[in-house]
Amino acid sequence: MMTKPDTTASMQAATTQWLQSAAPATAHQTEQLREVLRFHEHRYYVLNDPLIADNEYDHLYKLLQQTELAHPEWVTPTSPTQRVGSSLNSSFASVSHLVPMLSLDNSYNAEDLLDFDRRVRELSGLSEVTYCVEPKFDGASMSVIYENDQLVRSATRGDGVQGDDITTNSKQIRSIPLAAAFSRYGIQQVEIRGEVLMSKKNFALYNSKLAEEGIPPLANPRNAAAGSLRMKDPQEVGRRNLEAFLYHVAFYTTTADGLVPTTHSGMLEMLWQLGFRSPQQEKRVLQGIQAVIDYCLAFEARRDDLPYEIDGMVIKVDDLQRQEQLGQTTHHPRWAIAYKFKARQAISTLRGVEFQVGRTGAVTPVAKLDPVGIGGVTVSSISIHNQDYIAEKDLLLGDQVLIERAGDVIPQIVRSLPDKRNGTQQPIHFPTHCPVCQSQLAKEADEAVWRCINIECPAQVVERIIHFVSKDALDIRSFGEQQVRRFYELGLLKDIPGLYKLDYEAIGQLDGFGTKSIANLRSSLEASKQQPLHRLIYGLGIRHVGETMAKTLARSVQHLNDLRERSAEQLLTLEDVGPKVAASIAGFFANAQNLQMLDELAHLGLNLQQQEAAPTTGGALTGKTFLFTGTLEKFKRQQAELQVEEKGGQILGGVSSKLNYLVVGADAGSKLEKAKKIPSIIILTEDEFLALLAAEQG
């Protein structure tokens, strides 16, 4: 799939049309709608440059889904709807690769690369070699086969000869097209190799979800990707937002000579043109080994800025005939080598374990290690989550442990090294009582976490205040974790409402508190009273209520007190609220102490009101943003804005990438010019706007 400007323009026009129309009426129209969806999938998942808002994509997708439901005879195997497998994977059949999946020889420094180049030159007789250099993606390797332009099979690497059939799961990776026009290159069957990844951002999100459920995080994005590919439920695979880079055409059959590229870089270009995410933008074709070494070093320096993990670079002889001439050993090709970046693993000794009590009473063991440097930071403490995790990693006091830090990801213990034990290692004993308030710890049947259930436990109280003032909650600037602890220990602060009743005279006597810092503190506390309701809800630290859930809850009420009236059953009707979350929220609002705290916060002047207009539920324009500009002749601006809002849409104050629609009247000026430069904005005439409203009626 190419995205030439003319294709982009015609696809955008088609998008606007489909957003305004009823379901397709013929099989042909249905295929046209599919083309539009495929175009947007490519923009989003391969080019990372979406042209429409998520809710618009969802709208078009649902339109297609409804059509296919009404006309099953129009469904095609490569329809975007066919990514979602309905049945579970019972087991993964073993399948043979068309050609073995080899691994790469490794190099670690410039000298190793010079040796590699010398060997290549000797064997090929060339005086200077042209190389293609690209990142070495740190994920799970995979092989995909296309026949007659359709994806027919995907497999894991396995032992290199046979792997597991993961076709259904791989269809959940939206950067892998279900159909690709290889026939344009005369290719009938092709096997392509690539790497499945989880981006650093998605990995962090995924781990924070696990943490909210009290499940220990995964060690690194590589494990997350590999594990995801072998999940039983394809829908769960879909939720993990995996990505794939395809970097090697391992085998193909052709019906016409002369169309298939003759270089590796040409193959990457072909894959890119066909809609795959190949390392087209990251790769460089370079003459001679010195340029290769320079590029590897330059890329290594940028490693942390990439959105995904790489663990090195891969250097390949670019000419495919030369590759064939050079051949391979039993393990690796002679025409390629990996240049591995400096390890982000290290070994240290587990000296002790501290038990920390968190905001929800969860008791978390933290491993204390001999300080060790990994990838530029010194690590001496690592959370080891819970008792099950300690057992699973087989950790003993005094053990040598392997530590990994994947980029900006928090360091983790990968495993212990039992071979290095000398008999002095001791088991880790979990406390039976809270290390802070000494009350007995409790554990729920389906959880791995021991908790202190004394809601007054000083450790919990202080952590709750720290959470309340934190950046994503009430964002009380100039009041950080250390200050909360200090004030608490000095008896100047004992609970959340206490923040708004501080004794500034006493604080003025403390070291480091002058008139200016007190004034700053006062004003940021005052400002925090007006924070939007969702921040307050998040700040309350209700178990299982993260930022997204807090927003959902805020949107569902007009005043925080409305939540007092909600039963767990009623809460279950909200988006993403399951029984656990509903019970936790209902439990919070059933607790007299909590209600008293909320009353007090209201009394102290905090905003408990939902100020953003609650979207008309199910409004046809929900989530869409509009702006009107120029002289409107067919309707009054105010009326039009009201109509948009009544249908759940939102009016923006200016042109930005957040804007979905700009409605243009006569003599429109700078706003129109600005909007034209942002491709995702759909520009509507007054008539088109009226047609959109009419189409969305009901």
Q: Point out which residues bind ligand IVH (CB under 6 A).
A: 102-104, 134, 136-137, 141, 193, 195, 247-248, 314, 333, 336, 338
| CB closer to ligand IVH out of 196 and 384 | 196
Neighbours of 509 (CB within 10 A): 8
Neighbours of 102 (CB within 10 A): 17
- Dihedral angle, C-alpha 516, 521, 523, 525, nearest 10 °: -170
Q: What are phi and psi of 615, to 5 degrees?
A: -65, 140
Q: Which residues contact 110 (CB under 8 A, 6 or more apart)?
A: 293
| CB closer to ligand IVH out of 334 and 566 | 334
Could you tell me the smallest distance in angstroms from the CB atom of residue 141 to ligand IVH? Answer: 3
| CB closer to ligand IVH out of 308 and 661 | 308
Q: Are 469 and 502 in contact (CB under 8 A)?
A: no
Could you tell me the smallest distance in angstroms from the CB atom of residue 257 to ligand IVH? Answer: 24
**Listed residue (20, 321, 47) closest to 175, CA to CA:** 47
Could you tell me the smallest distance in angstroms from the CB atom of residue 277 to ligand IVH? Answer: 12
- Verify whether residue 580 is a known catalytic residue: no
**Listed residue (447, 341, 307) closest to 385, CA to CA:** 447
| CB closer to ligand IVH out of 140 and 260 | 140
Going by the DSSP 8-state scheme, the letter that residue 45 receives in this structure is: I
Could you tell me the smallest distance in angstroms from the CB atom of residue 205 to ligand IVH? Answer: 23
Q: Which residues pair with 284 in a beta bridge?
A: 133
Q: Are 644 and 674 in contact (CB under 8 A)?
A: no
Strands 661-664 and 625-629: parallel
Question: Two tokens at 178?
Answer: 């279900």
Helix%, strand%, coil% for the chain, nearest 5: 40, 20, 40
The length of the chain is 698
Q: What are phi and psi of 131, to 5 degrees?
A: -115, 155
| CB closer to ligand IVH out of 193 and 277 | 193
Could you tell me the smallest distance in angstroms from the CB atom of residue 450 to ligand IVH? Answer: 40
Given 4, 62, 136, 171, which residue is catalytic? Answer: 136
> How far apart (Å, rounded) are the C-alpha atoms in residues 46 and 275?
7
Which single residue is written with the structure tokens 């279950």? 572
| CB closer to ligand IVH out of 102 and 568 | 102
**Listed residue (697, 695, 698) closest to 21, CA to CA:** 695
- Ranked by CB distance to ligand IVH, the top (closest) residue is 141
| CB closer to ligand IVH out of 180 and 244 | 244
Could you tell me the smallest distance in angstroms from the CB atom of residue 330 to ligand IVH? Answer: 13
Q: Are 449 and 386 in contact (CB under 8 A)?
A: yes
Q: Are 355 and 364 in contact (CB under 8 A)?
A: yes
Could you tell me the smallest distance in angstroms from the CB atom of residue 365 to ligand IVH? Answer: 35
Which residues are catalytic, by number?
136
